[in-house]
Amino acid sequence: MATQLFWDRMAPKYARKPVDDPDAYEEKLALVASMLKPSDRVLEIGCGTGTTALRLAPKVTQYTATDGSRGMIGIANAKLGPGAPANVTFHQADAADQIAGAPFDAVCAFSLLHLVEDVPGVVANVYSQLRPGGLFLSKTVCTKAAAWPIRALIPALTTLRIAPRVTPLSEADLLRFIEDAGFTVERAMHLGKKRMSPIIVARKPA
């Protein structure tokens, strides 16, 4: 509940914040789009204010986007209307919830897994909602790769309610959680200047 309240409070500020690395963001969108098919039904968990969902939805037949924050979903729904893709829907739901419409052809989780308490549980939930052969596409901040002063500062910022609670992760941790859930990891890469947020492409065996 505390995490949801944090993001409800931060939603307007988050919506106004410019993309940190626009070139890396566009490269991520192009990479993900290249892996999706027009016939795909996609679930995005932790969609925030819906910017990525609205960009990717035209590439597929159906795009369902969820976030645990009512404030985030309210802003996302406000973006729907004339000119928005007709095949995208936004719903408030926790990352560990089962979503109507499963199984999906692909599940996306961008800048999310480090913000959940039970990372293995969420990854296992993703696995259960994918069809055999389906894709799991994630981008996750790995704070264990940060310099020590930054790692030490995060808990203090969380206590002061300046930053959300963060689960310390390394890229090796992520790969282990994803493989333990049953996925086959196909690619792990970094985009842009920062090396703390690997993009991992994993597939549920057919």
**What confidence tens digit (pLDDT) does each residue in 123-163 have?**
999 999 999 999 999 999 998 776 666 777 777 666 767 77
Separation of alpha carbons 144 and 154, rounded Å = 11
CB atoms within 10 A of CB 9: 13
Q: Tokens 């930054």 label which residue?
A: 150
Looking at the domain 2-203, which fold is it?
Rossmann fold (3.40.50)
- Which is more confident, 192 or 158? 192
Classify 48 in phi/psi space as left (phi over 0), alpha (psi -120 to 50) or beta.
Answer: left
Range name among 30-34, 51-55, 79-83, 198-202 with the lowest pLDDT average: 79-83
- In the predicted model, is pLDDT for residue 56 greater than 60? yes
Q: What is the pLDDT of residue 204?
A: 98
DSSP 59: G
- In the predicted model, is pLDDT for residue 1 greater than 60? no
- In the predicted model, is pLDDT for residue 35 greater than 80? yes
Q: What is the pLDDT of residue 156?
A: 66
Q: Where are the domains of the chain?
A: 2-203
Rg, the chain, Cα only: 16
List of E strands, 57-176 = 62-67, 88-92, 104-110, 130-139
What do you get for the CA distance between the two ends of the chain, in Å? 37
- Judge contact between 90 and 76, C-beta under 8 A: yes
- In the predicted model, is pLDDT for residue 190 greater than 60? yes
Q: Model pTM?
A: 0.93
- Judge contact between 70 and 4, C-beta under 8 A: yes
Range name among 44-53, 99-108, 192-201 with the lowest pLDDT average: 192-201
List of E strands, the chain = 41-45, 62-67, 88-92, 104-110, 130-139, 184-189, 199-203
For residue range 78-87, what is the model confidence (pLDDT) as tens digits?
999 899 999 9
CB atoms within 10 A of CB 2: 9
